[in-house]
Amino acid sequence: MPSDFDSPYRHGFVRLAAAVPAVRLADPAANAERTIAQLREAADQGAAVVVFPELGLSGYSLDDLAQQDALLDASLAALDAVREATTRLLPLVFVGLPLRLEGQLFNVAVALQGGELLGVVPKRYLPNYREFYEARQYTAGSHAIADTAVVLGREVPFGSDLIFAAASHPQLRVHAEICEDMWVPVPPSTWAALAGATVLVNLSASNVTVGKADYRRLLAESHSARCLAAHVYTSAGAGESTTDLAWDGQAIIAENGTVLAESARFQPDDHLLLADVDLERLVQERSRMTSYNDQVRDLQPQLKAMRRVAFAFRAPVLADTHLRRPVPRYPYVPSNPATLDQRCYEAINIQAHGLIQRIRATAAERVVIGVSGGLDSTLALLVAVEAFDRLGLPRANILAYTMPGFATSSQTLEQAHTLMRALGVSGEEIDIKPSCRQMLADLGHPFAKGEKVYDITFENVQAGERTSHLFRLANRHHAFVLGTGDLSELALGWCTYGVGDHMSHYNVNASVPKTLIQYLIRWFAQGGRHDDATRAVLEAIAGTTISPELVPADADGALQDTEAHVGPYPLQDFTLYYLTRFGFRPSKIAYLAHQAWGDATRGEWPALVPDDRRPAYTLGEIKHWMALFLRRFFAAQFKRSAVPNAPKVGGGGSLSPRGDWRMPSDAVPDAWLRDLDENVPA
């Protein structure tokens, strides 16, 4: 039996279902049977909310048959059959039917749960143009004169202002609207979202024309993004009349601008679409988006008029706890090749344009950069070349220096020289070992007496000496120092404060994580931007073990390995993203990391990730490295409070105190570590 930790519901997710039955037109009894069967299937798969199409119990394409008493009576009987079926099921259910109230015929969605009718939502806006003639049969919901309705002998709330609120699950707030209501400039669900609804559902019967599916998808994406909400769209499919129209049965589940799942269209039979939406993420986004809450304030009178309808809810026990949504292993690196190409293009341009503006502002036509033959300095050098080419400045004005120390490998030294030659920059080598020995001797360090003591002082003397050389070289050549350190290193405090790689005049990499840097370099190598020699050295650099090369190899010849000290960068970047971008608790991040990294054969990998670099991590490993991340992240805030200028590159944010991140340097990680220790069973 899966543990509670494994359930999506434990971590703020809720499973939504969009059902598309193949209707039997004008046969509500048959449609009720199909509806109940799909409802049971959705319940068996752990859905909390199940949405059926507009007029799904009767069929949409009825024309004047919708006004026939026999059809209306049969539709009510079908509704009662579905209501009875919900008695033994957990989900909140929305079904559509024609309903006569007070002498008016409405196109409605009825909310049911636990054998009860919770409310009736009328279609507010009726299309009566082109192929639509709904005003011939139905009354618009805005014309209703009552805010309650008697249905199946029960008086229930009636109106488009209803929010169905789970009593024991405060983040689950659901609003329903019908088809055209989403196509108007200000859908009714907009008000509901501002009033607290997190799940917006649309029961639709939209007929299909060429290109219309793309527009529906755009509506679902954009509406969920503007409202910071989840959106469920389900539409009529097989069985509707094709006298003059056709139907494709499109279903979409979106969350904050991203489509999580979409059904195949034109299916001949019933089909069900499920996805897990992250309500905690939506609530987080709303709480931090000040303009969203400003509009809540501006519209208080309208929003206070929205009515809440409570319903009982308890999370189902899931047999299959696999999360029904994509969880990218690399949140900074898209797996889709076209998206990755666009992301890399934008990142490089942001970095290059930032540097171009700084060059213009300082009137300095030279930059000084340290080139190690590793990832970060390679990307910074490539960005410098892009900027200088666009400014029409000679590449020789890029003054690149490789500065071997006591542990520099022949491989990275050769890579640095090869890269500088291939790019046509001014490349020189400065041996920092003599000056480092002098400083170590001045400090009375044991290494100066021949002892093999490789402590933090030994390491930082080298890192500081390199930076000191760069600043003095910048003075001498009327240039400024281009920084190379990345976002991941800033998060982990893996940089030498002040007089080391922490400092520069301008840093193009400071909001680019290590995982993205690896793929930006591979993108440069494979994009046809450079000659064969340059591409070859870029591929070699991308595959080199990440190391500061400050400590000599051990007796077995093993070099210093950064990831052995600070953890695998894919995991640490994963934690960094969800911690700083969304504010998730560590136990939830661990859950997501295990979903993404627990099985190397599951899910998509970015195409640029080599097959031999596709690991899996156990929950225990994830927990171990996350604890280390949290300790280092809190301890290193003082370094991030004093970073050089750098352009913000990705939506994941930066850690500059002038940008996305504000944090006291003396905060402690105890609450985060306690959550990790107590709530992750590893």
Query: How far is residue 579 from each of residues 10, 490, 659, measured CA to CA in Å?
Result: 18, 14, 16
Runs of H (alpha helix) within 398-479: 410-423, 433-442, 456-476
Q: At what angle do helices 375-391 and 514-526 cross, to 10 degrees?
A: 50
- Catalogue the active-site residues: 54, 123, 179
Cβ atoms of 38 and 77 within 8 Å: the answer is: no
- Tell me how long the chain is: 682
SS3 track for 261-310: EECCCCCCCCEEEEEEEEHHHHHHHHHHCHHHHHHHHHCHHHHHCCEEEE
The structure tokens listed for 681 are: 């069973």
Per DSSP, the residues of 328-352 read -S-TTS-SSHHHHHHHHHHHHHHHH
The Cα–Cα gap between 673 and 304 comes to: 40
The Cα–Cα gap between 150 and 512 comes to: 59
Query: How far is residue 294 from each of residues 286, 345, 667, measured CA to CA in Å?
Result: 11, 35, 30
The structure tokens listed for 24 are: 């039997």
Beta-carbon-side half-sphere exposure of residue 1 (alpha carbons within 13 Å): 3
What number of other Cβ atoms are within 10 A of residue 390's Cβ?
A: 13
User: Residue 664's Cα: distance from chain center in Å?
Assistant: 26
The Cα–Cα gap between 456 and 495 comes to: 12
What number of other Cβ atoms are within 10 A of residue 431's Cβ?
A: 12
Q: Are strands 506-507 and 480-483 parallel, antiparallel or unpaired?
A: parallel
Query: How far is residue 571 from each of residues 170, 188, 303, 652, 669, measured CA to CA in Å?
Result: 31, 41, 42, 15, 19
DSSP β-bridge partners for residue 368: 399, 481
Residue 307, sorted as left (phi over 0), alpha (psi -120 to 50) or beta, turns out to be beta
The Cα–Cα gap between 167 and 244 comes to: 45
Q: Which residues of 490-518 are buried (b: 16+ CB within 10 A; e: fewer)?
A: bbbbbbbbebbbbbbbbbbbbbbbbbbbb
The Cα–Cα gap between 165 and 173 comes to: 5
Token pair 């890029």 is found at 398
The Cα–Cα gap between 539 and 394 comes to: 25
∠ Cα 325 326 330 (to 5°): 150
Backbone angles phi, psi at 494, to 5 degrees: -85, 60
∠ Cα 322 564 611 (to 5°): 55
Query: Could you say which DSSP state residue 44 is in?
Result: H
Name the helix (H) or strand (E) containing 201: strand 199-203
Which amino acid type is present at position 262?
E
Nearest to 160 by CA among 307, 60, 16, 304: 307
The structure tokens listed for 143 are: 């014309």
Which amino acid type is present at position 537?
V
The structure tokens listed for 172 are: 């689950």
- Taken in order 387, 393, 394, 398, the sign of the CA dihedral is negative
